[in-house]
């Protein structure tokens, strides 16, 4: 069970309540596809992803980015049971979408073991950092990355 | 995943814009690293004050970013250009190389905060590749 302090809860709810999902979602997803081009393998049916401009203006990527943020919203509203909130989504990502769970992993570090490069989580962190500017303090960054780590762990739970 | 000519040009252009803020970038990146990844504090047990923006953090942030600037200048041959830094990290500092990714991530976060319009996805990928190449060069002498 993950423990959240009152301060961590308010940090997370505050971040998300000040976000434009229609802006941040597409920006994070398109950044991920540009910075880590191998992730495009999951979006073969989405149309033109040939270059950065095509990715940034692709309407399927835009709507999917927004969808992802709404998916994260579920975790924000259920912080005490993210694992079961995401059980179905985990099955979806594993069985139907066949997404390598390393793709959504959180930044390097956390407990001892070195991690593989983190992809979507990193891009989301960076987009939110650029929106919040200096308001994205080290403490807020730590809480946000902890939140993403819990989400990612829940998404990976149903893989076998 | 080696640096293309375009990557190098992107890095050099972006660096020219941001290098005067080197100390601020380094200080913030290091502060974040110590706060968000507390296991990295183990390398700085000799510092009195590990809090964000403390004197040793500011000084060391500047040192690190000076190294990054040096790497930009030597971008065409990082392995030989960063040889003595690699020896330092391998034999004296003995920083576990997995930590290079951690610091790189925090540098990128700071760049996004300080230069939100310039740090486009295209610049992001070039900088990410560059920092990874620097990390590889720094790891050369480890074993």
What pLDDT, in 10s, does the model give residues B24-73? Answer: 999 999 999 999 999 899 889 899 999 988 999 999 999 999 999 999 99
Chain A residue nearest residue B114, CA to CA: A133
Beta-carbon separation of B35 and A138 below 8 A: yes
Task: Tell whether A51 is within 8 A of chain B (Cβ).
Answer: no
Note the pTM of the prediction, 2 decimals: 0.88
Number of CB pairs < 8 Å for A and B?
77
Check which CATH number belongs to the domain holding B51 and give it.
1.10.490.10
Q: In chain B, how many domains are there? A: 1
**What ipTM did this prediction achieve?**
0.82
Domain A6-156 sits in CATH at 1.10.490.10
- State yes or no: pLDDT of A48 exceeds 80: yes
Task: Report the alpha-carbon distance of residue B108 to residue B130 in Å, rounded.
Answer: 11
pLDDT at A110 (0 to 100): 38
Q: Are A119 and A39 in contact (CB under 8 A)?
A: yes
For CA atoms A56, A156, A148, B138, the dihedral sign is negative
Query: How far does B81 lie from chain A, in Å, by closest CA?
Result: 25
What pLDDT, in 10s, does the model give residues A63-118? Answer: 999 999 999 999 999 999 998 999 988 888 888 888 877 676 655 543 322 343 36
What SS3 state is found at B118?
coil
Task: Tell whether B102 is within 8 A of chain A (Cβ).
Answer: yes
Task: Tell whether A116 is within 8 A of chain B (Cβ).
Answer: no
Task: Tell whether A56 is within 8 A of chain B (Cβ).
Answer: yes
Instruction: Label residue A101 exposed, middle or buried (CB < 10 Å: 0-12, 13-18, 19+).
Output: middle
For chain A, the structural domain boundaries read: 6-156
pLDDT at B28 (0 to 100): 97
Q: Are A49 and A58 in contact (CB under 8 A)?
A: yes
């Amino acid at each position: 069970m993950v423990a959240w302090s009152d301060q961590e809860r308010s940090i997370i709810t505050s971040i998300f309540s000040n976000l434009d999902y229609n802006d941040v979602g597409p920006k994070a997803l398109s950044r991920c596809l540009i910075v880590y081009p191998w992730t495009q393998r999951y979006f073969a049916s989405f149309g033109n992803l040939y270059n950065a401009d095509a990715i940034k203006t692709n309407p399927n990527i835009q709507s999917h980015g927004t969808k992802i943020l709404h998916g994260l919203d579920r975790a924000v509203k259920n912080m005490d049971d993210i694992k079961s909130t995401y059980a179905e989504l985990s099955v979806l990502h594993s069985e139907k979408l066949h997404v390598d769970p390393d793709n959504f992993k959180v930044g390097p570090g956390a407990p001892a073991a070195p991690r593989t490069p983190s992809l979507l989580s990193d891009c989301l962190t960076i987009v939110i950092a650029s929106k919040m500017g200096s308001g994205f303090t080290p403490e807020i960054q730590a809480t946000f990355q902890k939140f993403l780590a819990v989400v990612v762990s829940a998404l990976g739970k149903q893989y076998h | 995943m080696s640096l293309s000519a375009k990557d190098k040009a992107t890095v050099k252009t972006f660096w020219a814009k941001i290098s005067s803020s080197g100390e601020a970038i380094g200080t913030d990146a290091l502060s974040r690293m110590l706060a968000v990844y507390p296991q990295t504090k183990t390398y700085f047990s000799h510092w009195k004050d590990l809090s964000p923006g403390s004197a040793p953090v500011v000084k060391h942030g500047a040192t690190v970013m000076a190294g990054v600037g040096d790497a930009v200048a030597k971008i065409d041959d990082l392995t030989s250009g960063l040889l003595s830094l690699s020896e330092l990290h391998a034999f004296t500092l003995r920083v576990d190389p997995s930590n290079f990714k951690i610091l790189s991530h925090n540098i990128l976060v700071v760049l996004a905060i300080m230069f939100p319009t310039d740090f486009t996805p295209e610049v992001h990928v070039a900088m990410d590749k560059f920092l990874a190449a620097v990390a590889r060069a720094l790891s050369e002498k480890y074993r």
